[in-house]
Amino acid sequence: MPSRSRSTTQSKSRTTKKEAVPIQLNSYVKDEISRLSEQHGLTSQFLEEFALFVIENHKKKEPKPAKIKPLTLAQLKDVIYKHFHVKSTPELKNSGSFKMAIDGMDSLNLAKKEGWEILYRKFIGILPGEENQQGYGCINGINIFNYFRPWQVFGLDPSVATPQDIKIAYRDLSKIYHPDNSETGDPKIFDAITIMYKSISAEA
């Protein structure tokens, strides 16, 4: 019996996970840390910690983003009905408040889901899955051709932004999208941000 106990203990000790060996930075990395420390005024300790973090984590897989299900047509209709205090599409079309709300908008095809998505973007908010959008026409995560959200596009807080803040934000975007800019100029985007600028300037 005692011999079995000893052998079991020895077996456990052999299978115990070894302690992690501390990572050592080589001379090449240390020399680069010294150079960056002097050039940018950063402490060597900070750069060493960052280097160790990169070494330990650079092979880790990025977490997969959670899949966001788009709203169904029925869900879109339900939200719009509640917003305009109606219970059906015919009732919505005959609603005076709805007619006033869409006055000036392009004609809507409510026989298709896209028409209801336009209404959602206009009167409810950002559709699930369209947050932090990137690509053509997207500024600060907003697709300016789908959403009229000037404050977010200009990166400003309407509760504290001053007229000068608005001018500066508009000027910065204008430098990028003005048609005279041969590299990044875009007439459509420039016209859209100009309309937004006039809108929030009137509010300020």
Residue 29: strand, helix, or coil: helix
Which of 122, 169, 167 lies closest to 148, judged by CA? 122
pLDDT of residue 2: 53
Residues of the chain with CATH 1.10.287.110: 138-203
pLDDT value of residue 89: 97
Question: Which pLDDT score is estimated for 19?
Answer: 63
> Cα(86)–Cα(94) distance, rounded to whole angstroms?
10
- Residue 33 identity: I
What's the pLDDT score for residue 27? 87
Contact 112, 73 (CB under 8 A): no
Predicted TM-score (pTM) of the model is: 0.62
C-alpha 165 chain-centroid distance: 22
Give CATH for domain 138-203: 1.10.287.110
Q: In whole angstroms, how far apart are CA 113 and each of 72, 128, 133?
A: 8, 15, 20
pLDDT at 6: 54
**Token pair recorded at residue 85:** 């205090």
- Tell me how far apart the alpha carbons of residues 61 and 38 are, in angstroms, rounded to a whole number: 33
At residue 29, the pLDDT reads 86
**Do the Cβ atoms of 105 and 122 come closer than 8 Å?**
yes
Q: What is the pLDDT along the chain (204 residues), one digit of tens a residue?
A: 555 555 555 555 455 555 666 778 888 888 888 888 888 888 888 888 888 888 888 778 887 767 889 999 999 999 999 999 999 999 999 999 999 999 989 889 999 999 999 999 999 999 999 999 999 999 999 999 999 999 999 999 999 999 999 999 999 999 999 999 999 999 999 999 999 999 999 876
Q: Which residue has the tokens 């960052």?
A: 50
Find the radius of gyration of the CA atoms of the chain: 29
Report helix, strand or coil for 1: coil
Phi and psi at residue 58, to the nearest 5°:
-70, -20
CA 37 – CA 25 distance, rounded (Å): 16
